[in-house]
Structure 1
Amino acid sequence: MFSRSALRSLTSELRWTAPSTISSAPLQRACLHQTASKMSSQQPEAQSSSTHPESPLSATPRAQDSQPSARRPGFDEMTMTPRARADVPIAKQPVAPTFTSPLKVTKSLMSQLPHLVGQKPHYIVAHLHARPYLLTEGDHIRLPFLMPNVKAGDILRFNRASAIGSRDFTMKGAPTVDERIYECRVRVTGVDAEPLRIKEKTKRRQRHVKQAKSKHRYTLMRVMDVRVKTPEELLAEGAVVVEDGQDGSVIEPRS
């Protein structure tokens, strides 16, 4: 505990030191003002030296790299054909639309082709991603996946089929029918989505329960046309008639 005399001496010292602290404040302000003026006078020199550094830095290349490219990564602009990745199986790769040799048709196929053309309606066993689809004109397709880069109203062509037939005749390919013999066109009608599914996942000796949500989308299509070309159309397109016995499509009557 302090005595009264000690408290009086402490207060007297505080009274005497207060003016010194107050008087020193203007000096500090003056010093700060001087340093600020010096910094402002030195600022143009620093700016002039920073405008021309030894190794100039620029954000232009970074901004150019961040912009998305207009080219499609999986599309060849020269031949206008999609590129097949190395990891995609051969059965799922797209068929090239260009041909190096004319269509070869046997004499037996040319003689039986008018019977198949005249008997309608036709059905087709089209393959899409190694999955067969039995289709006729007017059918609605609900693909088990969402087809990329398509919109509602787009018209697509199925160019891979293992069989085309009618009520009494069937044309079988070896292994597929040449796409220049038939036409199968479908129209994209929209996208369908399934209801939201929530699956709870737990682990042993843990109180936390995780929820896995899934909501898949599917592409909807409608078959617009399934047509087999006539012998006259094939000959006009440059088809060549060969002898029987060579590998190719065969028309078999139903028993």
Structure 2
Amino acid sequence: MFSRSALRSFASELRWTAPSTISSAPLQQRACLHQTASLMNSPQSQSPSSSTHPESPLSATPRAQNASPKGIPPSGNFDEATMTPQTRADVPIAKQPVEPTFTTPLKVTKSMLSQLPHLAGQKPHYVVAQLHARPYLLTEGDHLRLPFLMPKVKAGDILRFNRASAVGSRDFTMKGTPTIDERIYECRVRVTGVDSEPLRIKEKTKRRNRHVKHATSKHRYTLMRVMDVRVKTPEELLAEGAVVVEDGEDASVIEPRS
């Protein structure tokens, strides 16, 4: 049997040697992992086969960049602040509006054809557009907030208002009967996003009833920006196939503002 002194010395050796052996193992393992990660990221860790036999021959001439950097459009004139196209040619084909189709040519009276250059040459133009039986007085650059959420539209879509009761400038006004033919003018708007109002809570209760109901509502509205409002010249109308007719009572008239 061991004596008490031998047991005490053996226990002391276990007490002091065990923590050192246990704590040293994770440190060595952690150091090995750190070294392997640094070796893998270093350029010298690549295999000699990949360095000596590349997939494509190396060349000193710079290659053309196929993709444009993130956030910069590939081509066209864009506003650097809002990244919006400046002309209609810079708008993608998928975002451009669909051209309308007509079965009969446009009929223009002689009096309107004679006064149309004065209206088309005087800018800026305004239009009283009709949308769901509501008039909207719009000019180029205006921001429009519709009192409803327009379905099936996304931010960036271009729409055309083709129902207008009046189109004019500072000194001239063209009035429709009741609307103006959409082939005479152009009013294009861009959908910028959707706005929502704060959450409203309305309490509903009945007389002699202790229960109170809470009705919540949070409406959303479509935001737009008017991109272009202009009146076509007589040359453009005749090139598109307009027909000159005699003056009639049901034709649109250009009146000078008093």
TM-score (norm 1): 0.62
Any gaps of 5 or more consecutive residues in structure 2? Answer: 1-98
When the two chains are superposed, the root-mean-square deviation of aligned CA atoms in Å is 1.1
Does the residue aligned with 1:117 lie in a helix, a strand or coil? Answer: helix
Partner of 1:248: 251
Q: Could you tell me which amino acid in structure 1 is paired with residue 172 of structure 2?
A: F
Partner of 2:204: 201
Identity %: 89
Q: Which residue of 2 aligns with 1:109?
A: 112
Aligned equivalents of 1:111 and 1:189: distance in 2? 38
Aligned pairs for 1:176-255 (under 5 A) are 176-255=179-258
> Aligned partner of 1:114: which letter?
P
Partner of 2:129: 126
Q: Which of the pair has more CA radius of gyration?
A: 1
Quote the Cα distance in structure 1 between the aligned partners of 2:232 and 2:172: 15
Tell me the amino acid that sits aligned with residue 113 of structure 1: L
Where 2:113 maps in the other structure, the secondary structure is helix
Q: How does 1:42-57 map to 2 (within 5 A)?
A: none
CA distance in 1, matches of 2:249, 2:138: 29
Match runs of 1:41-190 below 5 Å: 97-190=100-193
Distance in 2 separating the partners of 1:98 and 1:153: 24
Q: How many residues align?
A: 160
Query: Which residue identity lines up with residue 209 of structure 1 in the other structure?
Result: V
Normalising by structure 2, we get a TM-score of 0.61
Deviation at residue 205 of structure 1 after TM alignment: 1.4
Shift of 1:170: 0.1
Unaligned residue ranges in structure 1 (runs of 5+): 1-95
Q: Please identify runs of 4+ aligned residues in structure 1 that moved more than 6 A.
A: none
**AA partner of residue 139 (structure 1):** D
> What is the CA–CA distance in structure 1 between the aligned matches of 2:200 and 2:117, rounded to whole Å?
52
User: Following the alignment from structure 1 to structure 2, what is the Cα–Cα distance between the partners of residues 180 and 244?
Assistant: 18
**In structure 2, what is the Cα distance between the partners aligned to 1:248 and 1:99?**
18
- Please give the per-residue CA displacement for 1:105-159, whole angstroms capped at 9, x wherever unaligned: 0001000000001110000000000000000000000000000000000000000
